[in-house]
C-alpha cells in the first residue's frame, strides 16, 4: 500500500477526531491547529474536501474566530443535476416514491415489475421522490421505543442499504436520480455521510439530487423533485395546491414531482406548472392504518417533448396503478437476474458484509430441502438448540425457512413409526401480482369535452373545432360532450343574461350545436346534458339531447346530468334503461342498439365484459377552493358494488385528475371564454380538452391510463367568435362569411 499524501492524512486525522468528539458539536480551528500541528490553511483545505465527500460540517466565523460545526442536520439546499438529451426525441422517465426498504410491508416484486415494464417501453431514466428505505424506529434508551419497531425486518442502516442495493434492479443503460425523504433521514443521526451519498457511491447508476428536494434539469426544462413528508389532509389536492401557490414566479419549475403524500394526482398547467403527487410502492403499513392515511400504490410513466430551445413543449403522463399487493413479499421476493439485455450482472454492486451476516448466509446455503432436523444439525456441526436459534435468526435476515412433520418407519416392522421434523427452504410459493405490458392489453381512447356554452357571446366554436381535429389526428373515434353544450336560457332568473346571449331560445342554440359539432364519418359523439341545457326543458319542454340524437346518426344521447357507459377499443356500450332518459329518449337509444350503431351496456357479451366502465357527471352547485374537493365527495358517495373504473366531472371549468377509492377521477375544463357571471363570482375558467387512453385486461380492469390535456390561454380566445361562420378545411379553420347581427 502506498503512503498517504499530506492532505489524505489530514483528512483521516480530522475525521477520526470529529467522530470521537461528535457530541461536542463545535470546536475552534485554532485548537485543531494546536492539536495536530498543521496550519489553519491546511485544516481549511482538508475540511472542504471532507465536506465535498458529503459529511455534514460547516466552517463559520464569529467574533473574528473560526469555528468548525459538525452537528448532523438535514441539508435543505436544492442540488441540481443538468442532463442533455436530443431535442427532437421524447424523454421517457419512470417516477416512483416510497419504496420503504426494510419494512415487512415492502413490495420489491411490484417495483421491479414497474421498472422492467418501463424499461421494455424504452424508458432509460428513473426518478425517486424519497423514502427509499423505511428508516429506523427507536428501540430503547432515552427515546421511548416505537410501537412500529417490529414492523422492521431490517432494523439497522447497514442492512437496509444492503437490501436496497440487492433488490433494486441494476439495468443496462438506465440511470436513477433520487432524493431522500423523512424516513431516510432517520439514518443520519450519527456523523456520517448522508445515506443518499452512500448509495450513490456504491452504485454507478444512481445519482443523488439531495435531501428532501433537488432539481433535475433536462435540456432547459426544470424538474423539481421533492418529498413532502407524511402529513395528510382530508382534501387530497390541498397540500400540493398550497405549495404551488407559494412559489414566486422566478422560482417556478416546469414540473413538480411530489413524493411522500401516498397519493396519485395531477394538477395540469397550475400557474404554468405541471404538478404530480407520486404514489407509494409499499403495502399499507401499521402506521398508515393507525393514522387513517389512504395509501395509493403505483407509479408514473412520463414522456416529455421539447421545443427547439429545450424548454418543455408537452408532457404525456401514464398512470400505473397497483390495486393488489403481495403478502410477505419481503420474505419471498428475489432480485431480478438472468434477463439478457436487461440486467447488467457484471456491474451489480457489492458491499462488505459483517462476519455474522456472512456466517448466516453460509449456514443457509448448506441446508438442503427435505432433510431432517437431525441431519441439518449434523451438517452444520450444531446442537438442536443452536439450530432452533439459527432458524430464528434466518427470519431476521429475511430468509425463508419452514419445518414440517412426517412419519418415518423403522427397519423393525413391529416398531411404531417415528415422528420426524423435516426442514424446507422453499415454502409455499405465493402467487405474485404483477402488471402485464401495454402490448398485451386492450387500448381504448375517448375525447372528453364539456361546457361549450354555445349561444353565448363568449362562446369559442373555433376552439371546439380545433379540439375535434386534434382528436381525429390522434385516431380517436369516440367523443363525449359532458354537459352544457348550450348556454341555455336563464333570463327569467338573471335578467342581465339577455345581453350575454348571441342566440336566444332552443331553436337558435340547437342550430349553433349542429353547426359547430361537425359530422365526420366514423366519429361518434356521446351526449350528456347539463344544467344550462336543461333550462330549455324547463322553459319550453324541449330536450336538446333527444333532438340532436334524432337528427344525427353520429350523436347518442345518454342522459341528463349523469350517465354510465363502457368503451372497448373503438366500440362503445350504452344503457337505455335509466331514469335520466324519458321513454322517447330511451326508444331512440334502443333503435341505435338494434341498428348496431352501438352496443348494449346490459348485455354481457365478451366485448362488454372486457369494456371499461365510465360514469360521466355534470353536477350543480358552487365550486370549492381546492380542486379535488367536489369530485372527492362524489366518489365517496358511490356504492362500493356499483363503482365505475373512471368518473368524469365537468361543470367546474377546472382540470385535475387523481386515483381515489380505486376510481380514476377527472375534472375536465371548458371550451368557452370567461363569462361576466363567472368574473363577478371570481370563478376559475380553465379552457381545456382531454383525451383519455386506457389499457385494460379482459375483465375491464385498468392497468394503465393517461389523461392528455390540450390547454388554451387568453391568446387563444377569439373576440366575438360568435360573429363568424366557420368551416374546417384540411384541419385549418376557415372563415366563410360574417354574420350580420342586427
pLDDT at site 579 = 94
Supply the mean pLDDT for the chain.
88
Please give the residue that has the higher pLDDT: either 204 or 673. Answer: 673
737: β partners: 725
The helix, strand and coil proportions of the chain, stated in percent and rounded to the nearest 5, come to 30, 30, 40
Domains (ranges, CATH) in the chain?
Answer: 6-69 (1.10.10.1470), 90-326 (3.60.21.10), 355-424 (1.10.10), 438-738 (3.60.21.10)
pLDDT of residue 532: 96
What string of H, E and C letters represents the secondary structure of 453-469?
CECECCECHHHHHHHHH
Name the least confident of 94-98, 171-175, 578-582, 599-603.
171-175
- What are the backbone angles phi and psi of residue 38, rounded to the nearest 5°? -125, 155
Highest mean pLDDT out of 496-505, 552-561, 720-729: 552-561
What spatial distance separates the first Cα and last Cα of the chain, rounded to whole Å? 97
Across residues 318-322, what is the average pLDDT? 98
pLDDT tens-digit map of 426-477 = 766 567 888 999 999 999 999 999 999 999 999 999 999 999 999 999 999 9
pLDDT at 604 over 80: yes
Give yes or no for residue 100 having a pLDDT over 80: yes
CA-to-CA dists, residue 21 to 25, 69, 89, 94, angstroms: 8, 11, 53, 43
Q: How far, in Å, are 67, 385, 612, 647 from residue 444 at the CA level?
A: 65, 61, 8, 16
pLDDT range class, residue 637, cuts 50, 70, 90: very high
- Percent with pLDDT over 90 in the chain: 61
Min mean pLDDT across 131-135, 147-151, 659-663 is at 147-151
pLDDT of amino acid 29: 79
**Contact call for residues 57 and 68 (beta carbons, < 8 A):** yes
pLDDT at 344: 40
pLDDT at 615: 98
pLDDT tens sequence across 335-354: 886 333 333 444 444 556 67
Which are the contacts of 99, defined by CB distance < 8 A and separation ≥ 6?
A: 106, 107, 108, 111, 128, 131, 132, 133, 164, 168, 281, 282
Please give the Cα distance from 738 to 669 (Å, whole number). Answer: 28
Confidence of residue 742 (pLDDT cuts 50, 70, 90): very low
Q: Which residue has the higher pLDDT, 191 or 305?
A: 305
pLDDT of res. 725: 56
Per the CB < 8 A criterion, the answer to whether 593 and 637 are in contact is no
217-221, 388-392, 451-455: which has the minimum mean pLDDT?
388-392
C-alpha torsion sign, points 227, 233, 237, 242: negative
Q: Is the pLDDT of residue 248 over 60?
A: yes
Number of neighbouring beta carbons within 10 Å of residue 274: 22
Q: What percentage of the chain exceeds 70 in pLDDT?
A: 89
Q: Give the Cβ contact number of residue 325 at 10 Å.
A: 18
Q: Is the pLDDT of residue 678 over 50?
A: yes
Highest-confidence range of 53-57, 394-398, 583-587, by mean pLDDT? 583-587
Residue 427 confidence (pLDDT): 63
Residue 36: count other Cβ atoms within 10 Å of its Cβ. Answer: 16
* Residue 164 CB coordination number (10 Å): 22
- pLDDT of 541 > 70? The answer is yes
Among 122, 454, 306, residue whose Cα is nearest residue 465: 454
pLDDT band at 67 (very low <50, low <70, confident <90, very high): confident
Helix pair 29-36, 40-52: axis angle to 10 deg: 110
Mean pLDDT calculated for residue range 68-90: 78
Mean pLDDT of all residues in 267-296: 96
- Label residue 191 by pLDDT band (50, 70, 90): low
Q: In the predicted model, is pLDDT for residue 413 greater than 70?
A: no
**CB-based contacts of 189: which residues, under 8 Å, 6+ apart?**
72, 136
Tens digits of per-residue pLDDT, 49-61? 877 777 777 777 7
* Nearest to 293, CA basis, from 243, 245, 228: 228
Amino acid at each position: 500500500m502506498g503512503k498517504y499524501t499530506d492532505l489524505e492524512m489530514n483528512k483521516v486525522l480530522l475525521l477520526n477526531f470529529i467522530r470521537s468528539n461528535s457530541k461536542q458539536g463545535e470546536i475552534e480551528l485554532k485548537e485543531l491547529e494546536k492539536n495536530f500541528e498543521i496550519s489553519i490553511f491546511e485544516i481549511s483545505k482538508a475540511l472542504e474536501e471532507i465536506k465535498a465527500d458529503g459529511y455534514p460540517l460547516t466552517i463559520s466565523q464569529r467574533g473574528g474566530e473560526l469555528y468548525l460545526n459538525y452537528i448532523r442536520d438535514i441539508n435543505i439546499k436544492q442540488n441540481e443535476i443538468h442532463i442533455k438529451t436530443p431535442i427532437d426525441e421524447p424523454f421517457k422517465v419512470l417516477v416512483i416514491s416510497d419504496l420503504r426498504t426494510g419494512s415487512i410491508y415492502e413490495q420489491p416484486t411490484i417495483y421491479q415489475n414497474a421498472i422492467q415494464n418501463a424499461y421494455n417501453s424504452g424508458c432509460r431514466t428513473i426518478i425517486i421522490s424519497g423514502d427509499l428505505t423505511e428508516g429506523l424506529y427507536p428501540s430503547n434508551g432515552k427515546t421511548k421505543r416505537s410501537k412500529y419497531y417490529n414492523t422492521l425486518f431490517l432494523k439497522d442502516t447497514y442492512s437496509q442499504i444492503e437490501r436496497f442495493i440487492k433488490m433494486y434492479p441494476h439495468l443496462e443503460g438506465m440511470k436513477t436520480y433520487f432524493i431522500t425523504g423523512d424516513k431516510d433521514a432517520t439514518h443520519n443521526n450519527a456523523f456520517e455521510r448522508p445515506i443518499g451519498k452512500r448509495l450513490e457511491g456504491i452504485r454507478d447508476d444512481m445519482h443523488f439530487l439531495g435531501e428532501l428536494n433537488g432539481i433535475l434539469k433536462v435540456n432547459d426544462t426544470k424538474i423539481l423533485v421533492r418529498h413532502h413528508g407524511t402529513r395528510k389532509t382530508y382534501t387530497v389536492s390541498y397540500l400540493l395546491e398550497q405549495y404551488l401557490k407559494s412559489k414566486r414566479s422566478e422560482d417556478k419549475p416546469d414540473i413538480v414531482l411530489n413524493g411522500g403524500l401516498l397519493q396519485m394526482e395531477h394538477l395540469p398547467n397550475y400557474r404554468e406548472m405541471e404538478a404530480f403527487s407520486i404514489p407509494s410502492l409499499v403495502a399499507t403499513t401499521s402506521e398508515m392504518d393507525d393514522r387513517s392515511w389512504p395509501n395509493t400504490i403505483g407509479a408514473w410513466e412520463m414522456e416529455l417533448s421539447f421545443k427547439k430551445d429545450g424548454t418543455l413543449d408537452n408532457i404525456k403522463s401514464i398512470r400505473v396503478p397497483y390495486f393488489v399487493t403481495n403478502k410477505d413479499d419481503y420474505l419471498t421476493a428475489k432480485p431480478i437476474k438472468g434477463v439478457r439485455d436487461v440486467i447488467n450482472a457484471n456491474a451489480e454492486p457489492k458491499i462488505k458484509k459483517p462476519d455474522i451476516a456472512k456466517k448466516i448466509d453460509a449456514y443457509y446455503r448448506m441446508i438442503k430441502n427435505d432433510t431432517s432436523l437431525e441431519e441439518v444439525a449434523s451438517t452444520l456441526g450444531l446442537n438442536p438448540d443452536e439450530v432452533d436459534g439459527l432458524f430464528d435468526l434466518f427470519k431476521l435476515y429475511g430468509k425463508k425457512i419452514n419445518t414440517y412433520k412426517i412419519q418415518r418407519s423403522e427397519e423393525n416392522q413391529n416398531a411404531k413409526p417415528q415422528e420426524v421434523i423435516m426442514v424446507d427452504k422453499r415454502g409455499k410459493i405465493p402467487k405474485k401480482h404483477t402488471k402485464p405490458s401495454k402490448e398485451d392489453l386492450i387500448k381504448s381512447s375517448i375525447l372528453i369535452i364539456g361546457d361549450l356554452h354555445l349561444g353565448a357571446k363568449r362562446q369559442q366554436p373555433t376552439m371546439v373545432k380545433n379540439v375535434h381535429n386534434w382528436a381525429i389526428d390522434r385516431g380517436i373515434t369516440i367523443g363525449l360532450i359532458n354537459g352544457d353544450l348550450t348556454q341555455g336560457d336563464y333570463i327569467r332568473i338573471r335578467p342581465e343574461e339577455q345581453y350575454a346571449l348571441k342566440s336566444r331560445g332552443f331553436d337558435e342554440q340547437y342550430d349553433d350545436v349542429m353547426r359547430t359539432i361537425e359530422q365526420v364519418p366514423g366519429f361518434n359523439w356521446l351526449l350528456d346534458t347539463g344544467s344550462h341545457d336543461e333550462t330549455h326543458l324547463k322553459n319550453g319542454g324541449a330536450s336538446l339531447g333527444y333532438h340532436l340524437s334524432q337528427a344525427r346518426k353520429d350523436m347518442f344521447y345518454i342522459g341528463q346530468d349523469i350517465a354510465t357507459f363502457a368503451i372497448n377499443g373503438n366500440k362503445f356500450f350504452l344503457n337505455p334503461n335509466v331514469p335520466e332518459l324519458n321513454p322517447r329518449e330511451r326508444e331512440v337509444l334502443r333503435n341505435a342498439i338494434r341498428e348496431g350503431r352501438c352496443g348494449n351496456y346490459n348485455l354481457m357479451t365478451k366485448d362488454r365484459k372486457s369494456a371499461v366502465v365510465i360514469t360521466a357527471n355534470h353536477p350543480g352547485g358552487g365550486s370549492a377552493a381546492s380542486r379535488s374537493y367536489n369530485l372527492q365527495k362524489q366518489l365517496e358517495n358511490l356504492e362500493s358494488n356499483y363503482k365505475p373504473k373512471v368518473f368524469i366531472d365537468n361543470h367546474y371549468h377546472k382540470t385535475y385528475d387523481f386515483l381515489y377509492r380505486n376510481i380514476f377521477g377527472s375534472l375536465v375544463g371548458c371550451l368557452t371564454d370567461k363569462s361576466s357571471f363567472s368574473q363577478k363570482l371570481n370563478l376559475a375558467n380553465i379552457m381545456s380538452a382531454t383525451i383519455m387512453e386506457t389499457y385494460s385486461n379482459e375483465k375491464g380492469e385498468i392497468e394503465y391510463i393517461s389523461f392528455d390535456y390540450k390547454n388554451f390561454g387568453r391568446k387563444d380566445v377569439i373576440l366575438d367568435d360568435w360573429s363568424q361562420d366557420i368551416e374546417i378545411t384540411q384541419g385549418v379553420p376557415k372563415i366563410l362569411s360574417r354574420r350580420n347581427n342586427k
